[in-house]
Structure 1
Amino acid sequence: MMFNLIIKILFRKEVGQMAVIYATLIIKGKKTIADVPVKIREQVKQVLIDLEVPELAEE
């Protein structure tokens, strides 16, 4: 799927893997940005912005 291709391009290795997982859960409606650990919250926000859903990155 296109989403998987975008993820592979953005994160070719393990860098940001948890951020991608949280972004996926947010997109699916299982989590919100408030549920993301503070340590990786900015990375998750950037992933959401890159995937053109910046409204999901708002707290």
Structure 2
Amino acid sequence: MFSQALIDVSVSLIVAGLRTFNQVPNTIKPSVKSTLEAIGLGTDGKPLPQSE
């Protein structure tokens, strides 16, 4: 299990545009992706399209 802090930092860096999802270590990519999706963002750190 990985530290939630490492996942949170990675998410923050993606949102800030300082890191890309591809730069995230493979071991935490699934957790980072699910965290981004939970806050309505894609792996590029931009809002997911709204479905109507």
Mapping 1:28-43, distance limit 5 Å: 28-43=16-31
User: TM-score, normalised to structure 2's length?
Assistant: 0.72
**Number of equivalent positions:** 44
Q: Would you say the 8 A contact 1:48–1:56 is kept in 2?
A: no
Q: Which structure is higher in helix share? A: 1
Runs of 4+, deviation exceeding 3 Å: none
Say which of 49, 52, 55 aligns to 2:37: 49
Consecutive unaligned residues in structure 2, runs of 5 or more? 46-52
TM-score normalised by the chain length of structure 1: 0.65
Correspondent of 2:4 among 16, 24, 33? 16
Q: Kindly report the root-mean-square deviation, in angstroms, between the aligned alpha carbons of the 2 structures.
A: 2.0
Unmatched 5+ residue regions in structure 1? Answer: 1-14
